[in-house]
Amino acid sequence: MPAWAIAVVSIGGVLLLLIFIVLIRTMLFRPKKRAKDEEKPASIDKEKAVTSLQALIRCKTISTSDHKDEDKNEFVKLKETLRTTYPLVFKNCEYQELGPKELLFHLKGKNGDEKHPAIFMAHFDVVSVEPDRWTEDPFAGVRKNGVLYGRGTIDTKGTLNGTLRGCEELLLHGERPEHDFYFAFAGDEEVAGGSAKLAVKYFKDHSIDPYLVIDEGGAVVNGIFPGVKKNTALIGTAEKGACAMEFHLDGEGGHASAPAPHTPVGRLGKLAVDIEDHPFHFILSEPVREMFDILGRESTFTYRMIFANLWLFKPILNKLTKKSGGQLNALVRTTVALTQMEGSKATNIIPTKAMIGLNMRLMPPDSVEYASARLKKLSDKNGIASTPIFSYAWNPSRISTTKSEGYSKIKNAIEGTWGDDTLVSPYMMTACADARFYGEISDKVYRFSAMKLRPEQMEMIHGDNEQLNDEQIAETVEFYYRLMRSL
């Protein structure tokens, strides 16, 4: 056989082998058998679940970056409402305020182990509203046709109510958990006020190593993963970092009739395009790798083939996500969104000052230092030597383990509440929550908003007509009751 024929035959052989391996791996990439836990029924008072949340909605606890603009009375009213709405919690828990915006409850468990409690987090402040865009008063607690309207129903007085109502149910049923519980609620999460840090300091000072920490995060949703039709509960085991940067440029200014070849606006525009043309590298972080492994198995053949063979298809996935942007892309790299641009006020004036502003979300292990240095390099290349200005910046959170008892118990409570066919998967949260501060004391921090949400409800978070129906509100309480009972 001539040499070229041997080459063709061996290349063909390698290709066939490759296809064979890819197909075998795809075939074997099927959902893992799940050990089923026998779940006891959990009956809760559904009407009380709704009326308690309704009472919280009626407190107009809007956070503003300038605290002077806040209505302090509404925050006082909320604290009083907690006392009257959840009497058994107050009767059985030690209660203290670590700061004006950080409430801490402590329930003693049966095992006497004070160092490994379960910590339940939520925030009781909300973002502002544009009342004209709402069909109902956002703070009146309007209940209509089985739906409760109100700012904060989803984000996140719903889980605040879930925690406290769940605990009321536990105590009503005369059940005491094995573990100690702490409820740590902040009143300035929406403006990144950092009161949650007071609780972290308290736990650190008391050498507490939590059994688990649960805070807002992913929900039970549908249609979030290509080719998967089952309901999926997403538990954020980490969150991306965030960084806001501005580049400013001073120029000569002048009249638009006799411009230089490049004005400050043109030069910053060129930098903006350059930044967009240089996306960050592909990173398969642990939460996303686990997510692809769990949900990929449930998907259609093509996606199963891709996710079962990432060793081969990673470059293709990298290219596809770079091109598509959006949610999937945000799960595999640090993203940059150009958000601001300022020049002169009139079209016939060349500005003496111009700026662009951007928002970065950092995928671990990319740090603020690394990511901003990368952009600085691009700005230097474009001859824009100004030092970037940071409005805020923090690194990605620590990554939590899914191999803890706490994670399994959350998973069981999810399956007990929303049914065994609900998929449970870790994920990388692209938004921010107070939970990130807890990385300092624990690798068992889970971000899960225990609600089954319809796609349009996702838009209502920080948007208009935020609402939950009676069934959703009751399910949240049931989830917490189930989880607490198992701890």
CA atoms within 13 A on the CB side of 67: 10
At 355, list the tokens. 């700026």
What gap in Å lies between CA 383 and CA 390, rounded to an integer?
Answer: 20
Residue 420 Cβ vs Zn ion, minimum distance, rounded to whole Å:
29
DSSP 100-152: TTEEEEEE--SS--TTS-EEEEEE--B----GGG-SS-TTTT-EETTEEE-TT
What gap in Å lies between CA 453 and CA 456, rounded to an integer?
Answer: 8
Nearer to Zn ion, 154 or 368 (CB): 154
Residue 121 Cβ vs Zn ion, minimum distance, rounded to whole Å:
10
63 interacts with Zn ion by CB under 5 A: no
475 interacts with Zn ion by CB under 5 A: no
Residue 356 Cβ vs Zn ion, minimum distance, rounded to whole Å:
29
Nearer to Zn ion, 107 or 160 (CB): 160
Peptide bond into 156 cis (omega under 30): yes
For Zn ion, which stretch binds (CB under 5 A), given 147-155, 191-199, 310-318, 388-396? Answer: 147-155
DSSP 65-104: SSGGGS-HHHHHHHHHHHHHH-HHHHHHSEEEEEETTEEE
- Are 354 and 211 in contact by the 8 Å Cβ rule? The answer is no
Give me the 223-252 binding string for Zn ion, x by CB under 5 A, dash otherwise: ------------------------------
Residue 217 Cβ vs Zn ion, minimum distance, rounded to whole Å:
9
400 interacts with Zn ion by CB under 5 A: no
At 324, which amino acid appears? S
Residue 189 Cβ vs Zn ion, minimum distance, rounded to whole Å:
6
For Zn ion, which stretch binds (CB under 5 A), given 16-24, 65-73, 211-219, 447-455? Answer: 211-219
| Residues 369-398 close enough to bind Zn ion by CB under 5 A | none
What radius of gyration, in Å, describes the C-alpha atoms of the chain? 26
What gap in Å lies between CA 23 and CA 291, rounded to an integer?
Answer: 21
Residue 123 Cβ vs Zn ion, minimum distance, rounded to whole Å:
6
Nearer to Zn ion, 216 or 239 (CB): 216
Question: Beta partners for 335?
Answer: 361
- Are 195 and 102 in contact by the 8 Å Cβ rule? The answer is yes
Nearer to Zn ion, 215 or 415 (CB): 215
Nearer to Zn ion, 155 or 298 (CB): 155
For Zn ion, which stretch binds (CB under 5 A), given 214-222, 265-273, 304-312, 478-486? Answer: 214-222
Token look-up 């559904």 returns 46
Residue 66 Cβ vs Zn ion, minimum distance, rounded to whole Å:
20
Nearer to Zn ion, 412 or 449 (CB): 449
Residue 326 Cβ vs Zn ion, minimum distance, rounded to whole Å:
22
Nearer to Zn ion, 156 or 412 (CB): 156
- Are 120 and 193 in contact by the 8 Å Cβ rule? The answer is no
Residue 297 Cβ vs Zn ion, minimum distance, rounded to whole Å:
31
Nearer to Zn ion, 155 or 169 (CB): 155
Give me the 84-113 binding string for Zn ion, x by CB under 5 A, dash otherwise: ------------------------------
Nearer to Zn ion, 26 or 156 (CB): 156
DSSP 149-199: E-TTIIIIIHHHHHHHHHHHHHHHTT---SS-EEEEEES-GGGT--THHHH
At 177, which amino acid appears? P
195 interacts with Zn ion by CB under 5 A: no
Nearer to Zn ion, 159 or 299 (CB): 159
Residue 127 Cβ vs Zn ion, minimum distance, rounded to whole Å:
9
Residue 304 Cβ vs Zn ion, minimum distance, rounded to whole Å:
34
| Residues 153-172 close enough to bind Zn ion by CB under 5 A | 155-156
DSSP 448-468: EEEEE--HHHHHHTTSSS-EE
> CA 332 → CA 161, 214, 277, 426, distances in Å?
34, 24, 17, 14
How many residues touch Zn ion under the rule CB under 5 A: the total is 3
Nearer to Zn ion, 44 or 154 (CB): 154
Going by DSSP bridges, is the β-strand pair 353-362/241-250 parallel, antiparallel, or unpaired? antiparallel
434 interacts with Zn ion by CB under 5 A: no
For Zn ion, which stretch binds (CB under 5 A), given 212-220, 243-251, 331-339, 362-370? Answer: 212-220
Nearer to Zn ion, 216 or 478 (CB): 216
Peptide bond into 279 cis (omega under 30): no
Q: Which residue is nearest to Zn ion (CB)?
A: 155
Residue 122 Cβ vs Zn ion, minimum distance, rounded to whole Å:
8
The residues of the shown chain that bind Zn ion, judged by CB under 5 A, are 155-156, 216
